[in-house]
Chain A
């Protein structure tokens, strides 16, 4: 996932901002990490470069 994508993403539940935490990065792409919504207290995973922003009940 390109880090610029952060600017267009929001929490799918409350539409609030997400906090990005990068675990591994490569050539400007985030490979592994999480998005965190403080309002909903939910983590959204980034795995193999792919952000999963499905609400928890749809995963």
Chain B
């Protein structure tokens, strides 16, 4: 164990929780989004989509659960998060993570971009605490998703695919319409009814990815 890992381990607060999924054990630190139904729905779908040759980017990785599990299949996985505690958390869980906003600091393209975005509508001004920002999608619930979709093209390879999770509260039709304007194929890969909402995982496939296959 390197000295750095030892130091990080010592800094794990007593309040850290353990989360177990598909044989992985992860720590979840305070002020980091705790993996929930949407996380599990998205990682299950990602495992159906990811190829061994894929370079993968997970945006907004939180504690790093999806990145860590997808890394068992993919050629490479990099993650980002805007929340400094999440970045420390994903590092602790062994994920290569960069502290940044969406993909603002990445100059490379990826075969698969996975994002469990903040998707719930609120009246806040988006400047609240980090945990709130993990689910706060602004007044429409789609502010971060819209920003993500307007930038993601520049970060997809010729075989690029995008996988995002949303809720019925986010506006299923609004998000899928926006994705259809950008991607050749848009498919709902998973759907799960929760207490007061329905969760969806939506796949977008670049037109270039299709012509390659023909």
Shortest C-beta distance, B11 to chain A (Å), equals: 8
Shortest C-beta distance, A23 to chain B (Å), equals: 13
Q: Given A5-B96, A5-B98, A26-B2, are A52 and B84 neighbors across the interface (CB < 8 Å)?
A: yes
Write out, one digit per residue, whether chain B residues 95-115 have a CB within 8 A of any chain A CB (1) or not (0).
Answer: 011111100111110000000
Query: In the complex, are the beta carbons of A50 and B88 less than 8 A apart?
Result: yes
Query: In the complex, are the beta carbons of B2 and A9 less than 8 A apart?
Result: no
Query: In the complex, are the beta carbons of B106 and A8 less than 8 A apart?
Result: yes
Q: How big is the A interface, by class?
A: 20 to 34
A27 at the interface (CB under 8 A from B): yes
Q: Which of A31, A50, A55 contacts B97 (CB 8 A)?
A: A50
Shortest C-beta distance, B8 to chain A (Å), equals: 7
Once bound together, how far apart are the Cα atoms of A5 and B96, in whole Å?
9
Q: Given A15-B107, A27-B2, A48-B4, are A9 and B98 neighbors across the interface (CB < 8 Å)?
A: yes
Once bound together, how far apart are the Cα atoms of A48 and B9, in whole Å?
12
Q: Which chain A residue shows the least CB distance to B106?
A: A8
B7 at the interface (CB under 8 A from A): yes
Q: Which of B8, B96, B105 contacts A11 (CB 8 A)?
A: B105
B207 at the interface (CB under 8 A from A): no
B53 at the interface (CB under 8 A from A): no
Query: In the complex, are the beta carbons of A48 and B7 less than 8 A apart?
Result: yes
Contacts of B189 in A (CB 8 A): none
A40 at the interface (CB under 8 A from B): no
Write out, one digit per residue, whether chain A residues 1-17 have a CB within 8 A of any chain B CB (1) or not (0).
Answer: 11001011111100101
Contacts of A15 in B (CB 8 A): 107
Q: Which of A11, A17, A49 contacts B4 (CB 8 A)?
A: A49
Contacts of A17 in B (CB 8 A): 107
Shortest C-beta distance, A2 to chain B (Å), equals: 6
Query: In the complex, are the beta carbons of A8 and B99 less than 8 A apart?
Result: no
A–B pairs, 10, beta carbons within 8 Å: A1-B98, A5-B96, A9-B106, A29-B4, A49-B4, A50-B91, A52-B100, A53-B99, A53-B104, A58-B101
> Which 10 interchain pairs have the tightest Cβ spacing?
A53-B105, A12-B104, A10-B107, A8-B108, A53-B100, A12-B105, A52-B99, A27-B2, A50-B87, A49-B4
